[in-house]
């Protein structure tokens, strides 16, 4: 999964320096783990046991850092840097059960900071795009300038797929999605691709659609991470997707490969 550019730390306060000193060893261990993974042979990378060990080590480091971040924010609700720390914890699918109580406890001054305002928006979007919520409606142009609306797919199960021509993991997933589309399209399954290609990259976007043989509807405003639909859905990493039911309700998120097939098989059982 590819993420939007990380946030800069900004002004070095005493609190931020202490935070960096505390988390630096964890970050170094994470870098070392990534280096170790990159050095593995292709056979070693494909070894389930080896991957399991590396994933477990990476998760342990992530949880260690998360514990310190939570402790920091809880102990410093009036510290402006707490909003920056909390914001750094929301780069992917936002865990509202964790983030909302921490944000609520921040002082009004911290909430009013740029990072505080960002967090408020992120929380609002996350709550609006939870499973069970009606999918935020939108419209955007396809490559030919034709306006495509989410409401055009009412009555079908539709997967809103956020991707881009430059996103390696997205392109790697496209053959799996294409296979799934062919298996379920005639039964009432559709895909709506939303590309995060940037300004001046229309040709790259179209070429990727053609190269990957994607037959479904595709839209983009060619504004990179500032894509209006991506902003509406709080997208900070790709690939991501949302499965919408015929009434327009979100019923699942981030279903890839076999997980998407399994979900659709429940919806469209064989006769």
Give domain limits for the chain: 9-128, 139-267
C-alpha 158/C-alpha 156 separation (Å) is 6
In the block, which residue shows the tokens 């080590």?
57
List, for residues 30-52, the tens digit of each pLDDT value: 888 888 888 888 888 788 888 88
List, for residues 153-195, the tens digit of each pLDDT value: 999 999 999 999 999 999 999 999 999 999 999 999 999 999 9
b/e per residue 39-55 (b: at least 16 CB within 10 A): eeeeeeeeeeeeeeebe
pTM of the predicted structure, to 2 decimals: 0.80
- 222 phi and psi, to 5 degrees? 55, 45
What CATH class has 139-267?
A: alpha beta
C-alpha 76/C-alpha 260 separation (Å) is 42
For residue 109, give the H/E element and its range. helix 108-111
> Are 235 and 161 within 8 A, CB to CB?
no
215 contacts: CB under 8 Å, gap ≥ 6: 178, 181
> Are 3 and 83 within 8 A, CB to CB?
no
For 22, other C-beta atoms within 10 Å of its C-beta total: 14
> Given a cut of 90, is residue 107 above it in pLDDT?
yes
């Amino acid at each position: 999964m590819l993420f939007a550019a990380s946030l800069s730390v900004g002004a070095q306060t005493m609190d931020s320096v202490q935070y960096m000193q505390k988390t630096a060893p964890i970050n170094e261990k994470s870098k070392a783990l990534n280096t170790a993974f990159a050095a593995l042979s292709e056979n070693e990378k494909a070894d389930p046991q080896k991957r399991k060990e590396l994933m477990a080590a990476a998760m342990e480091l992530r949880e260690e850092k998360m514990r310190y971040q939570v402790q920091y924010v809880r102990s410093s609700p009036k510290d402006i840097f707490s909003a920056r720390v909390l914001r750094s914890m929301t780069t992917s699918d936002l865990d509202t059960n964790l983030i909302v109580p921490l944000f609520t406890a921040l002082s009004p001054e911290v909430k009013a900071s740029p990072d505080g305002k960002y967090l408020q928006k992120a929380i609002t979007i996350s709550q609006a795009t939870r499973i069970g919520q009606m999918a935020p409606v939108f419209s955007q142009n396809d490559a030919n300038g034709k306006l495509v609306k989410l409401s055009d797919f009412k009555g079908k199960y539709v997967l809103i797929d956020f991707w881009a021509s430059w996103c390696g993991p997205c392109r790697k997933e496209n053959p799996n999605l294409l296979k799934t589309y062919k298996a379920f399209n005639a039964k009432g399954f559709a895909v709506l691709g939303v590309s995060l290609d940037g300004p001046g990259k229309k040709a790259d976007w179209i070429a990727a659609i053609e190269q990957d043989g994607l037959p479904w509807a595709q839209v983009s405003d060619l504004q990179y991470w500032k894509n209006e639909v991506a902003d509406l859905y709080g997208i900070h990493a790709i690939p991501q997707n949302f499965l919408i039911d015929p009434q327009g309700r979100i019923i699942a998120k981030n279903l890839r490969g076999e997980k998407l097939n399994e979900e659709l098989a429940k919806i469209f059982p064989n006769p």
